[in-house]
Amino acid sequence: MSIENFPWLTTIILFPIVASLAIPFIPDKDGKTIRWYSLVVGLLDFLLIVYTFYTQYDFSNPEMQLVERYSWVPQIGLSWSVGVDGLSMPLVILTGFITTLAILAAWPVTFKPRLFYFLMLAMYGGQIAVFAVQDMLLFFLAWELELVPVYFLLAIWGGKKRLYAATKFILYTAGGSLFILVAALAMAFYGGTPTFDMQTLANKGFPLTFQLWIYTAFLIAYAVKLPIIPLHTWLPDAHGEATAPVHMLLAGILLKMGGYALIRMNAEMLPAAHAIVAPALVILGVVNIIYAALTSFAQRNLKRKIAYSSISHMGFVLIGIASFTDLGLSGAVLQMVSHGLIGASLFFLVGATYDRTHTLMLDEMGGVGKQMPKIFSMFTACSLASLALPGMSGFVAELMVFVGFATSDAYSLTFRVIVVGLAAIGVILTPIYLLSMLREIFYGPENKELTSHEVLIDAEPREVFIIASLLVPIIGIGFYPKMLTQVYDSKTLQLTARLRDEVPTLANRKEDTIAAQAVPAPAIR
Tens of pLDDT along 288-300? 999 999 999 889 8
pTM summary value:
0.93
Q: Where do runs of H (alpha helix) occur along 158-270?
A: 162-188, 198-202, 208-225, 234-241, 244-249, 255-261
Residue 7: other Cβ atoms inside 10 A: 15
SS3 state at 464: helix
What is the arithmetic mean of pLDDT over 91-116?
92
Residue 68's H or E segment, with its range, is: strand 65-73
| Interacting residues of 437 by C-beta distance below 8 A, sequence separation 6+ | 302, 305, 362, 383
Angle between helices 326-357 and 393-406 (to 10 degrees): 150
Query: Helix count (H) and strand count (E) of the chain?
Result: 22, 2
CB 91 within 8 A of CB 336: yes
- In the chain, the percentage of residues whose pLDDT exceeds 70 is 95
- In the chain, the percentage of residues whose pLDDT exceeds 90 is 63
More confident residue, 206 or 286: 286
Residue 452 has pLDDT above 80, yes or no: no
Q: Helix, strand, coil shares of the chain as percentages rounded to 5? A: 75, 5, 20
SS3 state at 54: helix
Q: What is the pLDDT of residues 476-503, one digit of tens each?
A: 999 999 999 999 999 999 999 999 988 8
CA pair distance 193, 206, nearest whole angstrom: 14
CA pair distance 475, 454, nearest whole angstrom: 34
DSSP notation for 71-84 = EEEGGGTEEEEEEE
Q: Determine the pLDDT at residue 496.
A: 93
Length in residues, the chain: 525
Q: Determine the pLDDT at residue 218.
A: 95
Residue 465 has pLDDT above 90, yes or no: yes
- Tell me the pLDDT of the chain averaged across its residues: 89
What is the arithmetic mean of pLDDT over 75-87?
86
Q: Determine the pLDDT at residue 513.
A: 58
Closest CA to 120 of 16, 250, 252: 16
